[in-house]
Structure 1
């Protein structure tokens, strides 16, 4: 495990969770190792969105408006590349942010699941398998719609009417 104060979230991040160890507030689980940050998960996500010329609040508001997801809203950090969903309310310290990677979920006890990514990395979360699968589906729906909207914009330009 490495110490990391970087605020950049990239396509190799699998999950992000709160920790309360010394000066560290976040654990960043990636395909190339586990890192710790002094920033909270929401601050790391804020910085990642800013790095992609937006704000986390703006991304969440857009999703809430277009998709009508008002709670535990998934959002896209980098269009067609990086998306993320919360397992619980982001205000809950047990919230784990899971990124758009292929994964398997196994419920190990009532309200507890293990998420295993394709590289074999696993993380335990305090929610049911159904919650994870629903949130994963919401994120993938969002990313698909975002991709299609981008394609339509490129194909039709200003002629495309916005969905309401």
Structure 2
């Protein structure tokens, strides 16, 4: 009885696998979701470079852009390497901007000595500056107060 069941299951697996291969082969080539040709891979010199120095903000309360590479910074639920320079306890001696005091408030508005959990992952608001073309058209104008 057990042998018959194993043979039946094996036959089913083999036939399903072969049918899957046949369907995959007959489906044709991979196409873009945008119905166009897939672009060529960028050559190394066309990769957009990190911009050094601080860029001005375009509106009030805009999170500042990160003026340095952060690709090697560890940021997980236990470690945030950004705080090694930007936490209020060390920012002065490191010459780095201090985090806004809003980063030290919990959801109820209580002042904390450490960065609030809701502000722990810096890259949810802050992005690195890069000299890159716009992906979509943009006609945004800064507010009058910043001109």
Smaller-chain TM-score range?
under 0.3
| Structure number with higher strand proportion | 1
TM-score by length of 2: 0.26
Q: Which has the larger radius of gyration?
A: 2
Which structure would you say has the larger RCO, counting Cα contacts within 8 Å and 6 or more residues apart?
2
TM-score by length of 1: 0.24
